[in-house]
Amino acid sequence: MTQVFNFSAGPAMISKPVLEKAQSELLNWLGQGTSVMEVSHRGKLFMEMITECDKDLRQLFNVPDNYKILFLQGGARGQFAAVPMNLIGAKGKALYLNSGHWSGMAAKEARNFCELDEISIVDKDENGVISVNRTDFSDIAEQYDYVHYCTNETITGVQIKEIPKVGNAVLVADMSSDIMSKPVDISKFGLIYAGAQKNLGPAGITLVIVREDLIGHACQATPSIWNYETQANSDSMINTPPTFAWYLCALVFKQMLAEGGLEIYAKRNEKKAALLYSYLEQSQFYRNYIAVANRSVMNVTFSTDNDELNAKFVAEAAEAGLQALKGHKVLGGMRASIYNAMPIEGVEALIAFMKKFEAENA
């Protein structure tokens, strides 16, 4: 079989050592003679597993002691609603920074729960190049209960590389598509959330890292599964958690620690992205429409500017073992998602294919 590299934007690639470990334990987890999926989430072994998962994640992502780590359900979209339900307080209003599809969706959902102001922070120039035009909100941020933004817009591949300035306001980040791709100063954030299905593990589980003083102020009508206080007080188990997804995330964290932690991943990710962008830069055939400062290290978008050729590219690439390169339906073109689990060999294989396709079709 041709070697397959999976460039899916999410659910995305999970590294081979993690899948092999899960496979080896599937029928007999920790000598119990059953799989991890078939045991009580309140049992001793599962509780030990999640305690260790919390410890590993704290070490890996350098999570300060005054932050709680929650593993919830409902995906990042669930958090689009949970964030306003839990964080709207005395000021009665939030600020949403719109850098594309997902941050726009977060604002749209939040409008069901609170008053908010939304500011577009991206420009498109006359050549169609998208850039982020503002990251300093310290003059206005403190009027709001919190400021929400998305660190990496998965569809366009727009990444905001510096943390927005918000004075003493609470900063909330949707990090779904670049979480743990590099070290981050968590103390700058009030809350971080991410669907697991890109860098953390499989779909079905959502990571929330929240500063303790922000817990316990949810509005009255908040359902208990969305209430950070009830979830924090019950080990994220107010209802039965997605145990297998949680277990896989725990394996991913162990693997990342074994490989040397986030600095190593950050270097590897920068290197993969640099290879791909430098190839795109010199090509007359493919174009990327994101300003250099905002090019995503995780989702690299490109196009031939010809829909038929783009479709041909995606089909032939799949035949050559380079899967899931079709861009999101709202944007078209191609997108290579090169999350933590993508080895550099995958990027090299993609560039080799792009060169061949260019030579045959330019």
Minimum separation from the CB atom of position 77 to ligand PMP (A): 3
Are 158 and 177 contacting, i.e. CB atoms less than 8 angstroms apart? no
55: alpha, beta or left? (left if phi > 0; alpha if psi -120 to 50) = alpha
Both structure tokens of 167: 């004075």
| Residue among 249 and 320 whose Cβ is closer to ligand PMP | 249
Which residue is catalytic, options 29, 56, 178, 198? 198
Binding-site sequence positions = 42, 76-77, 102, 154, 174, 197, 239-240
Q: Helix (H, G, I), strand (E, B), or coil: what is residue 271?
A: helix
The answer to whether 102 and 153 are in contact (CB under 8 A) is: yes
Q: Residue 32, Cα to own-chain centre: how many angstroms?
A: 34
In Å, what is the CA distance from 24 to each residue of 27, 31, 35, 36, 252? 8, 12, 10, 12, 15
Catalytic-residue membership of 356:
no
Q: Which listed residue (174, 178, 226, 326) is catalytic? A: 174
Q: How far is the CB of 354 from ligand PMP (least distance, A)?
A: 24
Chain mean position to CA 200: 8
DSSP annotation of 92: -
Separation CA 218–CA 184 (nearest Å): 27
Identify which of residues 184 and 320 has a Cβ nearer to ligand PMP in the complex. Answer: 184
- Phi/psi at 320 (5° precision): -85, 10
Number of H helices, E strands in the chain: 9, 15
Residue 154 or 304 having the CB closest to ligand PMP? 154
Tell me if residue 198 is catalytic: yes
CB of 131 to ligand PMP, least distance (A): 18
Q: Which residues are annotated as a binding site for pyridoxal 5'-phosphate?
A: 76-77, 102, 154, 174, 197, 239-240
3-class SS at 309?
helix
* Minimal distance, residue 74 CB to ligand PMP, in Å: 7
Query: Is 54 an annotated catalytic residue?
Result: no
Which positions ≥6 away from 317 have C-beta within 8 Å? 323, 325, 350, 353, 357
Of the candidates 102, 226, 246, 272, the residue annotated as catalytic is 102
> Binding site membership for L-glutamate: which residues?
42
Minimum CB distance to ligand PMP, residue 36 (Å)? 22
Residue 224 identity: S
> What does the binding site for ligand PMP look like in residue numbers (CB under 6 A)?
10, 75-77, 102, 150, 154, 174, 176-177, 195
Catalytic residues, by residue number, are: 102, 174, 198
